[in-house]
Amino acid sequence: MITKIVTTLPKIGMTKALQAASALINAAGAQTKRFQPAAQNQKASPSLATESAAKVSSAKAINPSTQLNANLSTNPEVAEWQFRHAPINWIPAAVLIATPLAAAIITPWYLATHKVSAPVWGVFGAFMVWTGMSITGGYHRLMAHRAYKAHPIVRNFFLLGATLAVQGSAFDWCAGHRIHHRHVDDPIQDPYSAKRGFWFSHIGWMLREYPSGQFDYKNIPDLTKDKILQIQHKYYGLWVLATNVGLVAAVGWLLGDVWGTLVLAGLLRLVLTHHFTFFINSLCHMFGSRPYTDTNTARDNFFLALFTWGEGYHNYHHFFQYDFRNGVKWWQYDPTKWLIAAFAKLGLASELRTVDDLTIKHAEVQMQFKQAQESIEALSQDNPIEVAAKFHQFKDRIKFEYGNFMQTVEEWKALKTKAVEMKKTDFANRLHEVDEVLKQDYARIEQQILMYNHNLKRAFREVGYHQAS
């Protein structure tokens, strides 16, 4: 589809587009070459350079497919050399550079010279929803994280929509995503590590054959057994053409506007879906709050959730990755969650995995105590001597509340152990009685954790400071 449309452009336009594409690929490579691990911040000596060259020559002599993982884990110097000298990944690079350039040129021209009917715009919107939520609800939450089980109708509907999104086969997408979660932020092993900068994590990681992007599929045995996914992976190129050209053109023919449908529901929709998805890898690791964990760069960002079908609550997702929800609060925008829940109501989805409210609140309050301690240290340095006594009392207050909180956490852990033991004994056949016995205890502990959350906020207000979320 893209090739046919682009070939209709004036020759001068195509020349400029190709020149810009080449410049962008070179820019991606230049940015990656600028990245240096801490161990290489200082200029290497001649002897070290000689030693590195020897190691690299040895590594190049070995089959990369069999030695790659060993190089990544045991020889970061060789792995970094591979990053800095990674060859261009021509097919993804051509698609990811050519399609936005084509969309930027063709779409305004077409809209200025042709009248687009309301049904065509409707199909554009429908395809945006279908492809976007096929990535979030299909590739991501269903296949990569197994957060729920879906009826074959739903599974195949998402698979078709994800193929329309042109983001790789289910094998490639899910294998890379599971590696991302396992090695999040690692500049060597995370396929789209935010530590390598915005450009790399957003799109640059796909433009070259970086070592972290070579997948052996050993981490997706549940998917490689699926016959339909095997066919999609084997004939992925044909699937992409059939959906993005054949299916879109067929819908356009039914609407009486093939070219308008190809431009909007085909080209423009594809580019927007690409970059909305890429925002999760880049911006969602750079801007927003971290209410659940600060062990990685993932952030919660309501604004990005609007563009990513609810995936913007990325801090929660990285801490509770098997929950079928990303926006766990009732007010958080997560249409993917709502769609999955609707499928469950219709009997088309089952075994929706969730994290209990008490565990979520525990993570929140634990993080708030950590942020409180950091705020205390910062405020103690920034405030004058006359308020030192006030902050000393404030610090003692936080220490006291944290001690009580940890006692409650220990009691909670003991209660969970007790629940397991009770279900192993003579209560095993009367689980509803076990739940009744434990319900009041769990409710009491939940109220205590909520109380500590309230006390933290009040303590900050008393010293005239609003704690960041």
Read off the pLDDT of residues 76-95 as tens digits, 9 standing for 90 and up: 788 888 888 899 999 999 99
| Cα angle value 270/271/277 (rounded, 5°) | 90
CA dist 98 and 25 (Å) reads 11
pLDDT digits (tens, 9 = 90+) for 203-242: 999 999 998 988 999 999 999 999 999 999 999 999 999 9
72: left (phi over 0), alpha (psi -120 to 50) or beta: alpha
Q: How much is the average pLDDT of 378-403?
A: 60
The answer to whether residue 54 scores a pLDDT higher than 50 is no
Which pTM was predicted? 0.76
**What element of type H or E holds 150?**
strand 149-150
Q: How much is the average pLDDT of 283-297?
A: 95
pLDDT confidence of residue 468: 46
CA dist 166 and 384 (Å) reads 58
pLDDT confidence of residue 314: 97
pLDDT confidence of residue 417: 75
The answer to whether residue 123 scores a pLDDT higher than 80 is yes
pLDDT confidence of residue 364: 84
SS3 for 237? helix
Q: How far is CA 365 from CA 329, 330, 413, 450, 457, in A?
A: 15, 18, 16, 8, 11
The answer to whether residue 389 scores a pLDDT higher than 90 is no
The answer to whether residue 71 scores a pLDDT higher than 90 is no
Lowest mean pLDDT among 125-139, 201-215, 426-440: 426-440
The answer to whether residue 28 scores a pLDDT higher than 70 is no
CA dist 372 and 398 (Å) reads 8
pLDDT digits (tens, 9 = 90+) for 151-203: 999 999 999 999 999 999 999 999 999 999 999 999 999 999 999 999 999 99
pLDDT confidence of residue 55: 42
173: left (phi over 0), alpha (psi -120 to 50) or beta: alpha
**Number of neighbouring beta carbons within 10 Å of residue 5:** 18
Please report, as a single letter, which amino acid is at residue 217: Y
Q: Can you state the angle between helices 118-133 and 248-255, rounded to 10 degrees?
A: 160
SS3 for 218? coil
Binned at pLDDT 50, 70 and 90, residue 363 comes out as confident
Lowest mean pLDDT among 63-77, 275-289, 404-418: 63-77
- Beta carbons of 226 and 163 less than 8 angstroms apart: no
Q: How much is the average pLDDT of 362-373?
A: 79
Q: How much is the average pLDDT of 365-384?
A: 71
- Beta carbons of 344 and 335 less than 8 angstroms apart: no
pLDDT confidence of residue 178: 97
The answer to whether residue 393 scores a pLDDT higher than 50 is yes
Phi, psi of 350, rounded to the nearest 5 degrees: -150, 170
pLDDT confidence of residue 412: 64
The answer to whether residue 353 scores a pLDDT higher than 70 is yes
pLDDT confidence of residue 356: 83
pLDDT confidence of residue 40: 39
Q: 362 versus 323: which is more confidently predicted?
A: 323
Q: How much is the average pLDDT of 418-446?
A: 62
Whole-number CA gyration radius for the chain: 26
pLDDT confidence of residue 352: 97
pLDDT confidence of residue 238: 97
Q: 334 versus 76: which is more confidently predicted?
A: 334
- Beta carbons of 348 and 137 less than 8 angstroms apart: no
Helix, strand, coil percentages in the chain from 3-state DSSP, rounded to 5: 75, 0, 25
Please state the separation of Cα 329 from the chain's center in Å: 19
The CA-to-CA distance between both ends of the chain, in Å, stands at 46
The answer to whether residue 57 scores a pLDDT higher than 70 is no
Q: How much is the average pLDDT of 324-342?
A: 96
Lowest mean pLDDT among 363-367, 389-393, 408-412: 389-393
**Number of neighbouring beta carbons within 10 Å of residue 357:** 12
The answer to whether residue 387 scores a pLDDT higher than 80 is no
The answer to whether residue 42 scores a pLDDT higher than 90 is no
Lowest mean pLDDT among 135-149, 257-271, 357-371: 357-371
Binned at pLDDT 50, 70 and 90, residue 49 comes out as very low
CA dist 32 and 86 (Å) reads 9
Mean pLDDT of the chain: 80
CA dist 233 and 224 (Å) reads 9
CA dist 82 and 145 (Å) reads 30
Q: How far is CA 68 from CA 28, 57, 224, in A?
A: 22, 14, 21
